[in-house]
Amino acid sequence: MSTDYGKILNALPRPDLYDSWELVKRHMPIEQPPSAASYIVFQKGGQCYAKNGMTGHIEFGPGDAYTVIQSVINALPSRGGDVYFKPDVYILNNFIVVNKVGVNLRGTFWRGIDVGGYRGSVVFKMANGANLDRILSVENWSCLVENIVLDGGGQTGGAGVGLLYVGGGDNVIRNVAVFNSYNRGISAGGHANEYINVAAEYCSNIGWQISNSDECVYIDCHSASNTGTAGWGVWFIGNSKYNRFVGFKSCLNGKDGWTIESLSTDIPMLNTFIGCVATNNKWHGFHIKGTVKNTFIGCVIANNSQEANNTYSGVYLEASSYSNSVNNIFEGNEIHSTTTNKQKYGIYEVDANQDYNIYLGNIISGMATGSIIKQGVNSISEHNIT
């Protein structure tokens, strides 16, 4: 039986379809991570490319980063797939939309990075003057985004939505950092999404805006040094219920560390905050404004009111235009001031309408004026150490 060498030669990988001769030996490129990818995105010579992860053939590029990345996502099957990014700074002139189920965007992220010092990370950076209202928009279900940095870069406007927007449900956002937003850093919500080690820093308006979030989990996330026009660390609003915040830190922000607020008849309620932190913010640590049936356990609320001594409190409860702050529980929290500018009160109910709240076993020290001011007739304050 004769051998058809022509067919064999035609089946071999072609050098011109790889980014270097070193990768010709195998269909899978050397840089391929341990798990097979649908596509591998990389840059070379100022251009962006995407290889098919199974064949190694370059299917997209040369082109700009947005066009190649969005083309890759659009080319995935309806069930999604894995897209790996080689470490680099991908400059985007439009925002990326994840609009299919099961799309996994995987990068490399050195958690110790500082602004501008990416240290081998995968970075999606907004092009100078693009002024987009977001960089990455996750709009479907069962997707993963991990080990990616989003940098607002040279914005002079935009980011009205947030550099990262997450809706849909059952998504996982892990090891993601957002920097330098002209407006919002992260707009989070959706159903049963998981946010793990996700950070918003140096945003001009709001670090995190969390709205219409239900049954989501926020673990070891943080919001810091957001000091612009609004300067909120976390703004938690809308029809948000049954969420769990574990070890979420909000520090060094220009106004409240956390503002939990009802802006309509949709009220944030039945949420649990465990071991969360609000420290060194200019205004209140936790500003509770017209919210109901939330539980705060083992949180650290310290050295807020940095704008002025004896002005803002650790926990401040008041009404919104739609609801009073009632039926909330604060148990086993540590509230203290050790700096020159001290918190006015540890916990303060503005008036008798803020009622039926429970304050149990909190440790409060170093306040400028008082520890717990309970004005609701039916609120309970027991076994606190002040």
At 160 the pLDDT is 79
Q: What are residue 99's DSSP bridge partners? A: none
Locus of tokens 């209140």: 284
Tally: H helices and E strands in the chain: 2, 34
Residue type at position 59: E
312 contacts 345 by C-beta, under 8 angstroms: no
Q: What are residue 364's DSSP bridge partners? A: 335
Domain ranges of the chain: 82-382
Q: What is the C-alpha separation between 199 and 56, in angstroms, rounded?
A: 34
Q: What is the C-alpha separation between 109 and 107, in angstroms, rounded?
A: 7
At 350 the pLDDT is 98
238 contacts 191 by C-beta, under 8 angstroms: no
At 3 the pLDDT is 52
CA distances in angstroms from 341 to 123, 315, 323, 348, 364, listed in the order given: 38, 16, 31, 17, 16
Q: Output DSSP code: residue 251.
A: E
Residue 221 has which token pair? Answer: 């996330």
Nearest to 314 by CA among 290, 287, 339: 287
Strands 103-106 and 81-85 turn out to be parallel
At 8 the pLDDT is 43
Q: What is the C-alpha separation between 316 and 184, in angstroms, rounded?
A: 24
Please state the pTM of the whole predicted model: 0.90
65 contacts 86 by C-beta, under 8 angstroms: no
**What kind and span of H or E run contains 50?**
strand 47-52
Q: Output DSSP code: residue 309.
A: T
**Signed CA dihedral, 204, 291, 270, 274: sign only:** positive
Mean pLDDT for back-to-back runs of 10 residues, the chain (386 residues): 49 45 40 66 95 89 97 96 95 97 91 58 92 95 97 78 95 95 94 97 94 97 90 95 98 98 93 98 98 98 98 98 97 97 98 98 98 98 98
At 4 the pLDDT is 55
Q: What is the C-alpha separation between 210 and 55, in angstroms, rounded?
A: 41
Nearest to 324 by CA among 346, 297, 351, 347: 351
What's the distance, Cα to Cα, between the start and end of the chain in Å?
Answer: 93
Count Cβ atoms within 10 A of the Cβ of residue 155 and give its class: 0-12 exposed, 13-18 middle, 19 or more buried.
buried
The CB-side HSE value for 358 (13 A sphere, CA atoms) comes to 13
CATH of 82-382, one of 2.40.30.10, 2.40.40.20, 2.160.20.10, 2.40.37.10: 2.160.20.10
Count Cβ atoms within 10 A of the Cβ of residue 176 and give its class: 0-12 exposed, 13-18 middle, 19 or more buried.
buried
Residue 317: what are its φ and ψ, rounded to 5°?
A: -110, 125
